[in-house]
Amino acid sequence: MRQPILTAAAFQALQSHHADARHWQLRDLFNEHPARFADFSVEAADLFLDYSKNRLNDTTMQLLFSLARERGIEPRRDAMFAGEKINTTERRAVLHTALRAPRDTMLRVDERNVIADVHAVLDRIQPFTERVRSGLWLGYGGKAITDIVNIGIGGSYLGPKMACQALRAYAHPRLTMHFVSNVDGNDLDALLQKVNPETTLFIIASKTFTTLETMMNAHSARTWFLTHGAATDLPKHFVAVSTNTDAVRAFGIDPENMFPFWDWVGGRYSIWSAIGLPVALAIGFDNFRQFLAGGHAMDQHFRSAPLEQNMPVILALIGVWYRNFFDSTSLSIAPYHQDLSDFPGYLQQLDMESNGKRVAVDGTALDAASCPVVWGDVGTNGQHAYFQLLHQGTDVIPVDFIAALKPGHGLAGHHAALLANCFAQSEAFMRGKTSGEARAEMQAQHMTAADIDALAPHKTFPGNRPSNTILMDALTPATLGALVALYEHKTFVQGVLWGVNSFDQWGVELGKVLAKNIQSELTGVPQPDRHDSSTNGLIARARAAM
């Protein structure tokens, strides 16, 4: 039986420590510790993490590191990298790290060197992407491909979409990437009205080639295509990321253009696998290799750095500090880079599908809160939307700021303004504005005493709001790879601390099963004894409208 986290000696020591820490003011911590920035920052894999604007001190961190050791972070990390089947509910290894390992690495799982298998697939992806990008891959009309449509869902949608947007600056000028996931036909319909069947290539991403949403969209795309081309043209316009050769062939795809991946790759960790085919097509295979290399560099850091200098471990421990001791129920992600606009949504799945659990690995109920709600948007958009709540709302919500020091454009003045906003917001969250400061500002504006008294409460900011800032020199394939791997390992560490299996997602399944039943009733015979009165009423109204 696992040890509940509440009974861990380090956790109890942290509870006693928090009784004092909850009264600390960040302004005071900075005033008392001139070297705070240097002492509470770390670099790894071309990323820099400043965690000095958090309500913690040296004692806090030492207690958190003790908690990490008591909860077995290091042996669990080693077990993951060794290919042990740490996904216990599905009896699988967890080896997204193997997807970005160099070719000369050896890792045997069930008597197979999985690294050799990984590079065998990469060796098939490379010439395919080069043919498409060079214009040698021709559609049925003899024209080069101009549009690539990735049809997937979950990780096979969020990952490639995020990475293609993030690495927009590296994209092939002839190729336009599109991503479809929603079973709502409005999604696919809007796209099909814009693309030319003669120059469009579809990627169907489904490991089993049975995923409901993906295959419904895939078959609709196939039907649309066949109103223009012939069945013999399908292999020129459809490829698959799958392992189901028979289903792929029956669909009309040449199995030579089927790119597999493995059951030890979870969907939300699959961007590094053949699921990343759209990324390789968009940015080129050499850049895709740099993306893999960036992830591997973070793997090496996570695997070898002492906990006290380990960036994913530090980020994870700070998250647990706020979730379990300050009762923070959410985490806001604020990338100050427009090309990272899809990154908060990507992290939602990574974090919340991994650690959004209420039972531990042994099936017992958790004794402490687990995953926070993850949400956010790019700065400076968020500043003019929800930052009001972050500054003056009743909840204290930690923020992760992410920025690149160099721009990906040549527009004068923009990047300095962007970084100024990023750094100013983290400072404003930390400092706030006292009533005295607000009053002094209004006095300098020659406002009346009555107006000052009336407005002072509204112009006062409590401050003391925590944040991390993650910086990279520039947003490149390598730094994006490191950034994604950083959050993957952070998620893993928090899962170990809470005692959950971060690599299953049984909560996704119930709705799928019920949806199949309801779909048959919407188009067939209702079975009201299956449902509650609300669901029956909704089904009846939908049937009447059809």
Write out the catalytic residue numbers. 353, 384, 512
| CA angle in degrees (0–180, nearest 5) for 157-207-79 | 90
Interhelix angle 285-304/73-81, nearest 10 degrees: 140
Give the DSSP per-residue string, 431-493: H-B-HHHHHHHHHHTT--HHHHHHHHHHH-B-----EEEEEESS--HHHHHHHHHHHHHHHHH
Angle (CA) 390 396 401, round 5°: 55
Measured CA to CA, the distance from residue 216 to residue 416 in angstroms comes to 46
DSSP notation for 332-390:
EEEEESGGGTTHHHHHHIIIIIHH--SB-TTSPBPSS--PPEEEE--TTTGGGTTHHHH
* Burial environment of residue 445 by CB neighbours within 10 A (0 to 12, 13 to 18, 19 or more): exposed
Q: 404, 399, 431, 409: which is closest to 419 by C-alpha?
A: 404
Q: Are 401 and 426 in contact (CB under 8 A)?
A: yes
Cα separation of 128 and 43, whole Å? Answer: 36
CA–chain centroid gap for 360, Å, is 22
Tell me the residue ranges of DSSP E strands in 128-234. 147-151, 176-180, 200-205
Q: Which residue type does 445 have? A: Q
Q: How many CB atoms lie within 10 A of CB 340?
A: 23
Rounded to 10°, the helix 477-498/285-304 angle is 40
How many CB atoms are located within 10 Å of the residue 329 CB?
14
Chain-centroid distance of CA 453 in Å reads: 45
For residues 435 and 483, what is the distance between their CA atoms, to the nearest angstrom?
A: 39
Tokens 């097509």 correspond to what residue? 281
**CA-CA distance, 343 to 335, in Å (whole number)?**
8
Cα separation, 546 vs 42, in Å, equals: 59
**Cβ atoms within 10 Å, residue 374:** 23
Nearest alpha carbon to residue 206 among 217, 197, 193:
217
